[in-house]
Structure 1
Amino acid sequence: MAATSEHPAETPECPAAQEGGLLPTELRNWMVLLAATGAIEQRLGPVLKETLGISHDEFLVLCLLADRPDGGLRMTRIAELLGRPKTRLTYQIACLAHAGLVTRRPVCGDKRGVEVALTGKGRRLFTESSPALADVVVSGLTEIGPEERETLCGMLPEEADGEKR
């Protein structure tokens, strides 16, 4: 696993978090969220390369598939969920398939549709590496300062899905 000394000691302050600027609170909060997730991605990237030999975007595909024990996902749905262009996703899936981590198969009744699923090797590798990867995420979250933490917690609306939060 990559040494934590290679990573910044704390999450960099988001430049948009300055009061009195032009951004409304919601956009300022969004920038804090992006800064926090970006800091975690920077920590996670080298660990993913070292432990799984994959990129962060490829890891996101594996996460979506790992959360689907009943089967795979259509490539179009993966692209939607990740907000990635289908052409970029095709390349990432090809890399994962070449590594033996996923399979591609046609969707029954749709000659253009392709479903992607984890292989046995992909499941084993993901299961073995998940605790260490989760630790990297948790360590990144612990670096978030109190102001950023308050901002992130305050992003949820008071009422969502008809329930008080």
Structure 2
Amino acid sequence: MSKVIVIGPPGSGKTYLSEKLKEKGYPAYDSDKVEGLFYWSTKDGKQIIKPDNSNIDWYKNHKFMWHRNFLEDFLADKKDLFLFGFSENVYEMIDLFDKAFYLYLPEEKVNERLVNPARNNDFGKKSDERDEVAKWLPSVHEEAKQHGLTFIDSTLTVEQIEKKIVG
């Protein structure tokens, strides 16, 4: 194994896959649960705290980011791991990993998963949030291609995805 990052749009299964691989004994992490890794900022870079009542207008004017220095320290003492997540500056972190994968999911499947009651993340449950995801989804797919990430069909089973990322 090695240091592997798996990214994808909302609803692509990042959290679910991290939980399932962890259950199987892999050193898998959901970036949203790595305390200290992420933060919210204004468009001009000022770090802020996300309010509980954030809506689509708030999301449009703020960025979800990762601290590179924190991630470097987090990775330093780990020989092998799988990090599942996404941030607006994720491509500035790709060089810290041996392998990078992108969980591809077409828009109709993204919408289906975002409204799934079993999903723990509230983002995407509102129609205006899903509309916003639909607007930027093609550019998210394209950016992953431009950075040379290996695409994985996110509709595959956990076992099939496991085979692709574990190697």
TM, length-normalised to structure 1? 0.26
| Higher Cα Rg, which structure | 1
TM, length-normalised to structure 2? 0.26
Higher strand residue share: 2
